[in-house]
């Protein structure tokens, strides 16, 4: 081993990175990976944002209502007292109920 003499004291490896180069290249790779992660994450967080916003708006309307149960609505009570009598009465059946039709045969 000692017989073979090295031609050079120091050989620079072409694949060797300096600390500075390692930090720069590593930074670029992490940045490239992070971009789609951030993009997907924001898409996930914002998904259905307007559905959620509108849902919240209606529940807020519910909470701020003084009366929160249908049968306690004075206007409904007045409607039944003056006009329809009671739910499922003859007037109700005529005005507030309906029937449905089979449309499947036409489709087949």
Phi first, then psi: what are they for 35, rounded to 5°?
-55, -55
Residue span 57-96 as binding mask against another protein, x where in contact by CB under 8 A, dash where not: xxxxxxxxx-xxxxxxxxxx-xxx-xxx--xx---x-xxx
Nearer to another protein, 2 or 65 (CB): 65
1 binds another protein (CB under 8 A): no
Distance (Å, whole) CA 77 – CA 69? 12
The residues, ordered by sequence, that sit 6+ positions from 74 with a Cβ below 8 Å of its Cβ are: 67
The footprint of another protein (CB under 8 A) covers 43-44, 46-65, 67-76, 78-80, 82-84, 87-88, 92, 94-104, 106-107
């Amino acid at each position: 081993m000692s017989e073979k003499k090295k031609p050079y004291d120091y050989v620079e490896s072409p694949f060797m990175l300096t600390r500075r180069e390692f930090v720069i290249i590593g930074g670029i790779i992490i940045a490239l990976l992070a971009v789609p992660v951030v993009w997907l994450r924001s898409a996930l967080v914002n998904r259905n944002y307007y559905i959620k916003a509108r849902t919240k708006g209606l529940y807020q309307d519910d909470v701020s209502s003084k009366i929160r149960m249908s049968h306690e609505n004075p206007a409904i009570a007045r409607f039944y007292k003056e006009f329809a009598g009671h739910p499922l009465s003859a007037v109700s059946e005529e005005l507030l109920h309906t029937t449905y039709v089979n449309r499947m045969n036409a489709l087949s």
